[in-house]
Amino acid sequence: MGKLIAYCGLDCAQCGAYLAKQNNDQALRVKTAAEWKEMLGLDYSPETMNCDSCKGNGELMPQCAECEIRKCATGKSVVNCGACEEFSTCKKINDFIEGAPYVKENLI
């Protein structure tokens, strides 16, 4: 599977919630919920581990549905934050990149 880059630079094609939904994989939902709770402190039930990516027209994870980066990028009609003329000075995306530096390569 190729990359599916979200507005923030995350690769949805590598996301457990995305893969679980696309493959109807309950074991992956359970595993992803447990991993996200341990690593990120997100307390989602396995039943919520369903996402069609923030660029899709289907379900979104709660944090993706509320994401200020997604809202901004869709409002500006850019393919992702890397395509925005404010990319280098944007506090939202630069704060996100600081916590997840690997996404910058996907945005550039």
The domain spans of the chain are 12-106
pLDDT at site 1: 53
Query: Terminus-to-terminus CA distance in the chain, angstroms?
Result: 20
Rounded mean pLDDT for each run of 10 residues along the chain, 108 residues in total: 88 94 96 94 92 88 90 95 96 95 94
Residue 30 φ then ψ, to 5°: -65, -45
Instruction: Output the pTM of the full model.
Output: 0.85
Q: Which residues contact 93 (CB under 8 A, 6 or more apart)?
A: 8, 9, 69, 81, 84, 87, 107
